[in-house]
Each structure stands twice: as structure tokens, then as C-alpha cells.
A and B are shown apart, each in its own frame.
Chain A
Amino acid sequence: MDLQHLLFILALICANDSLSASDDLLQWPQISKCRSPEMETFSCFWTAGNFYNLTVPRILQLLYKKSNEEDWKECPDYITSGQNSCYFNASYTSVWTPYCVQLASKNEVYDKKCFSVDEIVLPDPPVHLNWTLLNTSQTGIHGDIQVRWDPPPTADVRKGWITLEYELQYKEVNETKWKELKPRLSTVVPLYSLKMARDYEIRIRSRQRTSEKFGEFSEILYVSFSQIGIVCDHCTEEVEFPWFLVVVFGVCGLAVTVISIMLSKQPRIKMLIFPPVPVPKIKGIDPDLLKKGKLEEVNSILACHDNYKTQLYSDDLWVEFIELDIEDPDEKNRASDTDRLLSEDHLKSHGCLGAKDDDSGRASCCEPDIPETDFSASDTCDATSDSDQFKKATEKEEDLLCLDRQDNDESLPNLANPDPQRQRRNTQSENSHLWAPFGDSVESPRPSVHTQISNQNSLTSTDFYAQVSDITPAGRVVLSPGQKSKLGRTQHEGCTEQNFTMDNTYFCEADVKKCIAVTSHEENEPRVPEQGYNEDGYFTTESLTTTVANLGASTAAPPSSELPVADYTSIHIVQSPQGLVLNATALPVPDKEFNVSCGYVSTDQLNKIMP
């Protein structure tokens, strides 16, 4: 504050200095303004400047010239408009003719102005202001009045030579701020709702209709109701609008209405006012199952896919069939399998991602004798010969392949590492365990899930889902769009057929083979046991639940035979040929080892498994 004070004082001193300094300078004579009150005459005014110091008094002249003339003429009338003015009467005034005036003494021209008379019209103020009472309110506190006036006498409004607009301003006597009304053409204005106990002041000014500048204000008109004998009984009472009460009652009423609507049994009203917010729902997944399940299992199931990507590079058997579009990460990230799986539009497209390449064995996905893994591949095989999808599928096959990575040391994502451990601990793998991670993830906000996907996708650059398109006699699973499964050990481990969770579930090979081995006895599918032999994972390219994908993506865990197999639940709802909702509590898990880190069963398999 001290600094501000100091600065302020300094500024004052400087201003003082400059002001005093300017007094010493000669102020030139200036034409201050030229004005025509009625568009018939006009006057020009000037300031003489400070000639006090000059020894010889100079005589100022105002010269004028019309545009079509050559010579400068002197002002015809220096007197009528007062001192330092020049008055041009009607004979000297041509309205739409450009004029130039200059202020000069004998040798010097001090100032010059050019204008035309129609531009400098500033009317005189209105005259004869008066007011009359229109009516009073019933309480007698407020009243309406009407204000009348006459146009300025100089302005010839009657013959239409000039058209004037009026602006009225009024205020209470002890107020400082004037209230303005809009400019209007009429000379009669009503003022509504004035307080009868108070006195008012009114003033009016006018301007030419198409101009912007107003003339001077008229004399002030005083409005006093007591003068005309109005007796106001309750005038001293000031009733102000009870804002506080209005607000309080309004809020209470609104709250009561809202509560009554919410509690009302009428579903229609409730729907109208509070439309139900659609909860996030994953097609094919019962959210209850997910809630009861355990996160680790699903994480591990899905995680195994992630590891296969790195694994595949070392395996040259199928590398040749892998088409990686690594140089186009955007494309992969944009439309990875996971994303496509997430969107229902691509449900079918994942069935068989364009089995163009015969060598890769993907063409077999279109073969009718591979039903168990081909949820919709046979349907969509021809339809989805999309090269992009094909490429993406090939990229993602690496991830999708649940090769026996558990036997290989790989750099697993850190997220995935704890998952197998947790999975092992899940001895009591209920059916819902598989879905527990889903449940957790479902409850988690969607964006995080998606970011998980995207992150994972960016990390892995592929999805993890593929579809078992064929099972070679050697016991390998041919995947599409994923890569073919590797040769691997076969593990016949029990896994309850009921535990096959359909609808876009994903399998780690190790897990699946356990599952398949168990179910192979009950399954009629010849392919199933063959699949069980495969160490590779099985994938459905159907849209697994997003959460499953995400969880798998985010928490990629290495599939290992030691990992407990995930539980599989019975089929709860068959939503589509590609999707099944599993009943978490339907069947017990006979084999704990079946906590597959990534265990998925094709729809057809499950169909045959389940009654």
C-alpha cells in the first residue's frame, strides 16, 4: 500500500507539473463545434486560446466556403450566437451542401473544419413539460402518470422538415441515477408505477431521428403527488416484494414435487421426469456374475493372451503366417480386435477375418466342420473378408494365441504377474470367479476400462482374441484371425464342461486344454478334445465382454499349466449364436486346476456341453 501511495503522489506531482507547464504554452484558437438546431440555420463556436501574453491582440475571423465556390468569405454574423461564434442564417444555409470554415487571423489559419449542415443537427430541448395522473393502484401506493411536452419551437416538425426523437429520463428526487426510456417519436409518454409517497424529476432531450447525438436536456419537471392533493393512507408503508419468502416457498415446493415424483408409484411420471439412465451393460455378461467373481481369475485368463505376442516371434513355425502391421500402430490401436469386439457391430465380423490366405489355415475357419470354435465364422466368413480386419487379426493372433508361454520366460507386464498368484489362491473357483474381474471392471467406470484397453493395445498393439478355426490332427488349434497354435504339450486335465463360459470367452491354451480335456468326455464334438491337446489358446473372435477383454488386456498373465484354471459357469442365457451369459452359481467346479488363466469355450462347444 505504501508503494501505491508513493506512486499516486508521484503521479499527482507529475500531472501538476504538466498542467502548469501547459499554461505556459500558447493555446491555439480552435473551432469547438458547429451546430444547427433546426436544419435551417447554423452556428459555429470557437475558443480564442490564450492570447493574453501577446502584445498585439489578434483578431480572429471565421471564413467559410461552400464546396462549389472558390473564395473564402467572412462570417456574416458574429453577434447573434454570442461571443466567439458565427451565425449563419437561413439565407446563408444550404442544407446538403458541403461547407468548410476556417478560423484565421490576418496571416494564419488556426483551425479548419468541413461539414454539411445535415450532419451537425442538434435540436433544442423540448418545452412545456407537464404531467397528469392517469390512475392509482388499489393500495394507493403506486400511481401512473402521463408526461406531455412540446417539440422545440425552432424545429419545424409540423411541416415535416425535421423529424425528432425524444428521450425521457426520470428519477426520484433523492436518487442520483437517472432512469432512461427508449427514444420515441411521440410527445406523450406514460410513466407507470411511480411511488406516490416520493417526488420525481423528469427531463427530456431530443435528436434528429437518424442522428446519434442528442441535444441539450430540457428543464427538469418536478412530479409531486402531494401537490395535487392525493392523500395516501398507507403511503409510508413500503411493501417490497417478499423475495425471501418467494425463494423459500419456491424451493420447498420444488423439493416436495421432486420427492413426490420420485416416490410416486406412477412409473410414467417418474419416467418422464427422471428418465432411467442406462447402466453400462456388457452384452452377454450378467453383471451379477461379474460382481461375485474374482478379478484375478479373469485377469489371468485374459492376461495370458498378452504374452503370446512376444512368444510368437521366436516361433518361426507360424511366423510366416503372421502379418503384423506394426508400421501402422494407429490402425491397430484404432480398430484393434478389442475395440471391434467392444462394439457390437463387429460381433460377426470377428467370426472369420477374411480367410484369404490359404496357407495360414484361416480359410478353414469357413469350413463347416469347425463349428465349435466358429460362432459365427461360417456366417461371416465370406462377409468379412476385410483385408484390414485380416491384418489386424493377424497381428492380434499373437496375443490371442495362448501358447505355452508359461514355459518360457517372457517379459510379462507387471500387472500380469501378480495375477497368476492370485489365481492359484482361488481354489474355490466358483463359476462366478471367472466373472469376478468382470464384475469389478464392470463396476469400474467405463472410460478407465477403455483406457485400459487402449493402453494395453498400445502396449501390445494387438488384441488377444482369435477364434479357433481348425484343429489339426497333430492337436494344434488353428486360430483365426489369430495365429495358429503352436505345438505344445497336451494336457488332459479335467475341467468341467459346465464351466465353459461362452460368449466370447477366451482361452489360454493351457487352460483350455485342461478344460477341453475334462469336457471332452462329455462333449460330442470331436474337435474339442483335439483342442484340449493344444497348448495353444483358443479364442473367440466374437465380442467377448469388454471387461473381459480389458481385464485380459490390462492384466496379462502368463498362461501356465500351473495356473489354476478358471471356473466355467453354466449357460445362463443364450443371447445370440455368439454369446452366452453364464450362470455364476449354476455348477460347481470339480477341478480346481481348471482355474484357467484364460479359458474360453466356443459357443458351439458349450452348446454341446450344456443341455
Chain B
Amino acid sequence: MNTKGASLKGLLLVALLVSHMLLIKEGVTSLPICPNGSVNCQLSLEELFDRAVKLSHYIHFLSSEMFNEFDERYAQGRGFIAKAVNSCHTASLTTPEDKEQTQQIHHEDLLNLILGVLRSWNDPLVHLASEVQRMKEAPETILWKAVEIEEQNKRLLEGMEKIVGRVQSGVVENDIYTPWDGLPSLQLDDEDSRLFAFYNLLHCLRRDSHKIDNYLKVLKCRLIHDNNC
């Protein structure tokens, strides 16, 4: 009986350890979870922003690494950099381009802009994850990162919607959105063109994730810490 109990304990420990390891992702899930349906459980705005900033930082970190890996692996010697002065599909959204503009924009507008950018990236991320799998000898790391980014982007979108619900007074119609039509370019037969399309998309993803990360940090410092981070 002793051995049974000991083995059960060991099993439980192992299960806990495994679940802990699976859940730990760059500190994103270390925050307490508010169970669904509980009435009095409400995360404070500070906690919401904390989570949002962590998520956005994680997404930017992943996209940065993914771009670097892709650049290293596929783009060397193809002269993509020279052509990288590209335009992303989110360029049509007028987002603040420097600190001054960021400070001048109203926080609700900025939140809506962030939401718009996140929504615009939903579709491309889904297709990116699926198309990356078709890449020749796509390494496991790029594959995993694409899937992870897509997942985290959804979570960040949800979080942002919560924040917007808290911050904004009244219901505001948010139709900031840019459709993405780059799917055919990801499916081109010509390998060079296809890889260039991927390169552009990853470059744009890195840039936009940095943008979102920055905006959220500025908003957090402005709203929560009163410009005194």
C-alpha cells in the first residue's frame, strides 16, 4: 500500500510538473485566472493592461525571432533586403508614427486603432500558419511560432476588447479594419516570389507587433501610472 501511495504521489507530482511546464509561456500565464461566470471576479484595469502588455511583448518577440530565422534560412542571397521597402496591408490605417503623435492621440482612439490592427492581422496569421507548413523543409521552430502567434493574437484581441469595454463609455462602433489580400502571393508556384511574399509578411508582422507593443506600453504608462512608469 505504501508503494501504491508513493507511486500515486509521484504520478501527481509529474502531472503537476508537466502541466506547469506546458502552461508557462514567457510569464504570460503566471497571472491569476478569473473563472468564467463568477460575478465578483473582475480584473482591474491595471491587471488587464499588464496582461495585454505581456501578450503584446510576447507576440513581438516571437515574430521578431521568426523573421530572423526566416531571414537566415531562406532569404540569404536572394536580395530580399533591397526590396524590403515594402508596404504592409495595414499601411492604410493611419497610426501615430512618432512619440509626439502617440502622445497627442486620445487613448480611446488609440485603443480602437490597436483593435483595428489586431483584427486586420487575424486573417493573415491564420493563413500564415497554414502556408508555412507547406514551405519546403519548414523548420519546426518557424512552424510552431506561426501557430503560437496566431493563438496569442486572438487572446490579445479578446483582452483588448475587454479593456476597450472598460475604458470606453458607451458603445462605439469600431470598424477599423483592413482586409488582407496577400494569400495568392503566398501560394505562388515560383519559389522566389513565394518566399519574398513570406518575407514581406513576416517583416510587416514584426513591425506591426512592435507598434502594438509600443502603443500599449504608452497607454499603460499614461492610464495606469500617470506617465510615470
User: A residues touching B (Cβ–Cβ < 8 Å)?
Assistant: 39-40, 67-68, 90, 93-98, 100, 114, 116, 118, 156-161, 163, 209-210
Contact = CB atoms under 8 A, between A and B. Distances in A.
A160 B99 contact: no
B193 interface: no
Given A96-B207, A210-B60, A159 B229 contact: yes
Do most interface residues of chain B lie in helix, strand or loop, or is the interface mixed? helix
Contact of B82 (A95, A114, A118): A114
22 contacts: A40-B99, A67-B86, A93-B98, A94-B97, A95-B97, A96-B97, A96-B207, A100-B85, A114-B81, A116-B207, A118-B207, A158-B221, A158-B229, A159-B221, A159-B227, A159-B229, A160-B219, A160-B220, A160-B229, A163-B217, A210-B61, A210-B210
Nearest to B228: A158
B100 interface: yes
B103 interface: yes
A90 B104 CA distance: 15
A94 B219 CA distance: 19
Nearest to B211: A96
Nearest to B220: A160
B107 interface: no
Among A68, A116, A161, max chain B CB count under 10 A is at: A161
Contacts of B228: 158
A343 to B, nearest CB: 31
B92 to A, nearest CB: 11
Do most interface residues of chain A lie in helix, strand or loop, or is the interface mixed? loop
B86 A156 contact: no
B222 A114 contact: no
Given A118-B207, A158-B229, 11 more contacts: A67-B86, A90-B98, A95-B98, A98-B86, A159-B221, A160-B214, A160-B220, A160-B221, A161-B214, A161-B218, A210-B61
A95 B57 CA distance: 18
A159 B82 contact: no
A120 to B, nearest CB: 13
Among B85, B100, B220, max chain A CB count under 10 A is at: B85
A59 B102 CA distance: 38
B11 interface: no
B221 A90 contact: no
B229 to A, nearest CB: 5
A116 B208 CA distance: 12
A271 to B, nearest CB: 16
B85 A67 contact: yes
A156 B211 CA distance: 16
Given A90-B98, A90-B99, A210-B64, A159 B222 contact: yes
Contacts, number: 67
A161 B207 CA distance: 15
A209 B217 CA distance: 12
A95 B215 CA distance: 12
A114 B85 CA distance: 7
B30 interface: no
Given A96-B207, A210-B64, A161 B99 contact: yes
A152 to B, nearest CB: 15
A159 B214 CA distance: 10
A593 B176 CA distance: 108
A580 to B, nearest CB: 39
Nearest to B95: A96
Among B60, B99, B213, B227, max chain A CB count under 10 A is at: B99
A68 to B, nearest CB: 7
A161 B228 CA distance: 11
Nearest to B64: A210
B97 A210 contact: no
Nearest to A117: B98
Contacts of B207: 96, 116, 118
Nearest to A98: B85
A576 B102 CA distance: 91
B57 A210 contact: yes
B109 to A, nearest CB: 17
B214 to A, nearest CB: 7
A40 B98 CA distance: 7
Contacts of B210: 96, 118, 210
Nearest to B84: A114
A494 B102 CA distance: 114
A361 B51 CA distance: 85
Contacts of A161: 99, 102, 214, 217-218
Contacts of A157: 229
B87 interface: yes
B227 A158 contact: yes
A118 B61 CA distance: 14
Given A96-B207, A114-B82, A159-B229, A209 B99 contact: no
A37 to B, nearest CB: 13
Contacts of A114: 81-82, 84-85
A160 B215 CA distance: 9
Nearest to A161: B99
Interface string B77-113: 0000110111100010001011110110000000000
Contacts of A163: 217
B219 to A, nearest CB: 8
Contacts of B220: 160
Given A94-B97, A157-B229, A209 B218 contact: no
Contacts of A156: 99
B184 to A, nearest CB: 23
A305 B102 CA distance: 97
Interface in B187-229: 207, 210-211, 213-214, 217-222, 227-229
B85 A209 contact: no
Contacts of A93: 98
A39 B101 CA distance: 13
A98 B84 contact: yes
Contacts of B218: 159-161
Among B98, B219, B220, B228, max chain A CB count under 10 A is at: B98
B98 A68 contact: no
B57 A160 contact: no
Contacts of B87: 67-68
B84 to A, nearest CB: 6
B221 A97 contact: no
B78 to A, nearest CB: 15
B57 A209 contact: yes
